[in-house]
Amino acid sequence: MKRIQINSFIFEEIISSKQIEERVSEVARQINSEYQGKKPIFIPVLNGSFMFASNLIQQIDIPLEISFVKLKSYQGMESKGYIDEVSGLDVNITNRHVIIVEDIVESGLTTRYLMDKLSKYHPTSIQIATFLYKPQKENHPLKYICFSIKDEFVVGYGLDLDGYYRNLNSVYQLVK
């Protein structure tokens, strides 16, 4: 397996760029099929979901809207335990089908925060499309999951370590 060093940490590739490309295409096909005629609004959560959202949305062939929100819940390798909303929703989602696009669902903190907030605007439906999911930490019913992973720290494909390494085209897990 491919390994990289980041600062004094060693990371090992767990999901290759080819695996990512194939799985994102599968999820896009599923969304295309299930949302025919519904004109959903995609709400990517920045910064982490930008690569997944971009690749996913490019493969959606039905009419859609996009509106970004920027939330922050991590400091270094640890969750802060609360959400900082940096910029919020700027579009009307009342009676709309909403798909939240996440980089990773781990504790469920961000997901619950956003679902509670968006529900107040009375959308027709809210679903979550996440690139990564840690089921051992959060048992939240998610509609679209690209990959389930172990409860280890990861970087790459939008996920960062103190703002860096989002540009890696594969996902790397911290080696203990």
Determine the pLDDT at residue 91. Answer: 86
Q: Is 165 a residue whose pLDDT tops 70?
A: yes
* pLDDT 10s digits, 98-138: 999 999 998 878 888 888 888 999 999 999 999 999 987 66
Q: Give the pLDDT band of residue 71 (cuts 50, 70, 90).
A: confident
More confident site: 151 or 71: 151
Distance CA 105, CA 30 (A): 20
Residue 44 in this model has a pLDDT that exceeds 60 = yes
Which pLDDT score, from 0 to 100, does residue 86 have?
44
| End-to-end alpha carbon distance in the chain | 15
Q: Is the pLDDT confidence value at 174 over 70?
A: yes
Q: What is the 3-state secondary structure (H, E, C) of the chain?
A: CCEEEECCEEEEEEECHHHHHHHHHHHHHHHHHHCCCCCCEEEEEECCCHHHHHHHHHCCCCCCEECCEEEEEEECCEEEEEEEEEECCCCCCCCCEEEEEEEEECCCHHHHHHHHHHHCCCCCEEEEEEEEECCCCCCCCCCEEEEECCCCCEEECCECECCECCCCCCEEEECC
Of 21, 65, 106, 138, the active-site residue reads 106
pTM of the complete model beyond 0.95: no
Give the pLDDT band of residue 84 (cuts 50, 70, 90): low
Is 106 considered catalytic here? yes
